[in-house]
Amino acid sequence: MALVIAGERSGVGKTTVTLTLLASLRRRDRLVQSFKVGPDYIDPMFHQHVTGRACRNLDPVLTSEAYVQQCFAHHSQLSEYALVEGVMGLFDGIGHQEWGMGHGQEKQKSTDFASTAHIARLLDLPVVLVIDCSRLSGSVAAIAHGYRSFDPRIKIAGVVLNRIGSDRHLSLLKDSLEPLQLPILGTLRRQDNITIPDRHLGLVPTAELPELNALIDRLADLGDTCFDWQRLLPLLKSKSLPHSPHLPHPPSSSIRIAIARDRAFNFYYQDNLDLLQQLGAELVFWSPLEDAGIPKNLQGMYFGGGFPEVFAQQLAENSSVREAVKTAILKGMPTIAECGGLMYLCEQIIDFEGKYWPMAGVLPTSSVMGGRLTLGYRRAVALQDNLLVKANTTVYGHEFHRSHLTLTPTQPLFKTSRYDCEENMGCEGWGLPANVHASYVHLHWGESREIPQRFLKECLKVASSATWI
């Protein structure tokens, strides 16, 4: 057993409710494992800050339905309680072809693939529906009834009423819901003193919020009083194992991978990092913002996504690191650079104000910030053998950025299209030098162990040739 926190639409307060639950559980010294539906990086940062445990993404597009089930089963067993935060509205998913169960096994179009409802069905978990009550009273019953009856496979355990304005408002909401006999598991008043700042790609990450601990304390105070814990705790209880399963000891290796992790670069799926370690790599975390140079004795580098445009001036001013990164790559250092990492390897970043900031200068192009948001799942077919995949291999990833490049690569890594249709999204990704994989497409390696294996194989060549950087 565990619980899914879902919303009737985006913006109803799922993350606030989830963090409030997590903060209150941790105040009670409960060991809790959290999960996030979808490709999100920032919400999981907040989860981890509260729980002290890495949040795991559950995304059947980036991985598979089987991987979602395996990931949840493994990590939820290692804690007392488990909680899944949904994405968008409960039934908001993407188009996906599924085989029907008729005589002809006809193909049918599913529109809630990768939705919160899809994950709840896959994991057979009950759902708590968060409803924004700020602009309704009696209509709350119609909303709750509609969501409960829309898909009989979804078990609605109860509702959390958010943004309640007054005692009178709460009374009207309760009276309206009473005929449904649907448990009210939480009631949250409007909280003017609890806000998480956001910007052009969502919430501001945890590393940039010096007052975050005070905010979490306020959420814990709220959680202690606003939830029906007698009903919630049994739903949150996970099937924990008496002992943690034995993980195979990674083989000894001389592979050291530098992972750029600071305020500018912090978008990583924990499963990707785990895979590198399980395959024998030593991960060395460092900061292109703060450090005077790159770590010593490396055989590979990994630059995740993040907000290099926000810290472009500081990155530009750290010229010794920029030069060291460029030198290492030109000497043959295998390097992965996703989205923000790709931007850092460009000649420069041109920010929202039109200011030019020099970057590592590995790729002969510039990254320009703009108002247009590029967002969505991608089907990407490799056009050539590259650092991570062989030619003609199909991978599934996600794009989320407000920048574009001034020049396109002459030999791109991928031909991309939307996941849910055949719409061509063009060619993208830089693989020159050949030891670089620089792309806007974020990949979750989940079931694709061959991706990190291929990367580490190239890193081993550096180690065996004694090309220590």
How big is the CA angle at 409 (ends 285 and 460), to the nearest 5 degrees?
A: 40
DSSP 103-149: TT--EEEEEEETSHHHHHHHHT--EEEEEE-TT-STTHHHHHHHHHH
Residue 179: cis peptide before it, omega within 30 degrees of 0? no
Element (H or E) spanning 416, and its range? strand 414-418
Q: Quick one: tokens of 247?
A: 């993980």
Let me know if 339 is a catalytic residue. Answer: yes
- Measure the CA–CA gap between 66 and 83, rounded to whole angstroms: 19
How big is the CA angle at 120 (ends 117 and 121), to the nearest 5 degrees?
A: 90
How big is the CA angle at 13 (ends 11 and 217), to the nearest 5 degrees?
A: 140
47, 34 in Cβ contact below 8 A? Answer: yes
The active-site residue, picked from 71, 339, 346, 459, is 339
- Measure the CA–CA gap between 93 and 402, rounded to whole angstroms: 23
End-to-end CA distance of the chain: 49
SS3 assignment, position 76: helix
Instruction: Write down the number of H helices and E strands in the chain.
Output: 13, 25
H helical segments located in 36-101 = 42-51, 65-76
How big is the CA angle at 231 (ends 134 and 157), to the nearest 5 degrees?
A: 65
Q: Active-site residue numbers?
A: 339
